[in-house]
Amino acid sequence: MTGRLKNPIIQVVLLGLFICTGLLLIFGLKSPSESDKIIVIDETDMAQLIAGWQRTWNRLPTREELKGLMENHVKDEVLYQEALNQGLDRNSAVVKRALITQMELLAEGQGEQPEITEEALEAYYNLRKDQFISPVIISFKQVYFKDDQDPEGLSSLKDDWNLKGLDFATALAMGTTTMLSHEMKEMPADLIDREFGENFASKLQALTPGQWNGPVPSVFGWHLIYIDSLTPSRPLPLEAVRNEILLQLQYEDKDAAKEQFYTELLQQYEITYQGLAKELVNE
């Protein structure tokens, strides 16, 4: 045992433990002082906020935007300082962000997570039913004609709209070869617009199903359209969006818990504003 104590590494460790024990006995564990509860927002802070915004958006922030930046900065500083006061870790740029995140997670976990009731789900759904809408679904056939092409038969189609009895094969023979789909089945409006151009689906919704319509313009040219079926948009039933609503309510509960935690924490801190920061607060 005596031989081990002569080991230089062990001697250094024992010396360190002795010094730490002595300091704890003399000074005790550090507890947050009143100075730890003071946060100063000065011109340097404001300059950094402005510079960060300018790097992101390539312009200076408006006074309202700067005020919002400052409020978020104060919130971060309060959460960060409280994390330090609780001894979570030491100061560094990376750790600072991590500690703020830890404090926000701590805030989310304050208290018991309330159970989302069936009544809450139904109330949320009824208030926001217009947000849960199925898309318009259309099945149709199309024959394409280029803008600068007026093949035999298209002029007469434009003139007298004589489209009754026109079969698909005959219509295709009249048209122009294209990479566009000749037939689309049960396609939502947004995907139709993605292939044929913006607002094309809305033009299809105005056509009569079960017959040829047109010519109908698109960004590519003209089209003869045969609507096989059209299912209009309608509110989705609660059962179809239950999980989505549940996740949203859980998120809102966590967000409210974080805001309440921060509000209560902010009351424990003295925030001092200087220069431009002080002007913004006093507006």
Q: How do residues 152-209 score in pLDDT, each as one tens digit? A: 445 555 444 456 667 788 777 777 778 888 888 999 988 999 999 888 999 999 898 9
Give residue 160's pLDDT.
Answer: 43
How many CB atoms are located within 10 Å of the residue 138 CB?
25
Domain extents in the chain: 1-30, 36-116+240-283, 137-231
Question: Crossing angle for the helix pair 93-108 and 63-85, nearest 10 degrees?
Answer: 80
By the 8 A CB rule, do 169 and 247 touch?
Answer: no
Strand partners, 213: 225
* pLDDT, position 141: 92
Rounded CA separation 16/195 (Å): 72
pLDDT attached to residue 15: 46
Give the pLDDT score at 156.
Answer: 52
State phi, psi for 91 to the nearest 5 degrees. Answer: -75, 130
pLDDT at residue 36 in the model: 64
Question: Count of residues for the chain?
Answer: 283
Q: What does DSSP say about strands 183-188 and 38-41: parallel, antiparallel, or unpaired?
A: unpaired
**What is the distance in angstroms between the CA of the first residue and the CA of the last residue of the chain?**
72
CATH topology (fold) of 137-231: Chitinase A; domain 3 (3.10.50)
283 residues of the chain, pLDDT tens digit each: 545 545 544 444 444 444 444 434 443 444 545 556 788 888 888 888 998 898 889 888 999 999 999 999 999 888 888 877 876 655 567 777 777 777 777 776 665 566 778 888 888 888 888 888 888 899 999 988 876 555 444 555 544 445 666 778 877 777 777 888 888 899 998 899 999 988 899 999 989 898 888 788 888 888 888 999 998 888 888 888 888 888 888 777 777 777 877 887 888 888 888 888 888 888 8
pLDDT of residue 161: 45
CB contact set of 79 (below 8 Å; sequence gap of 6+): 99, 100, 103, 104, 262, 265
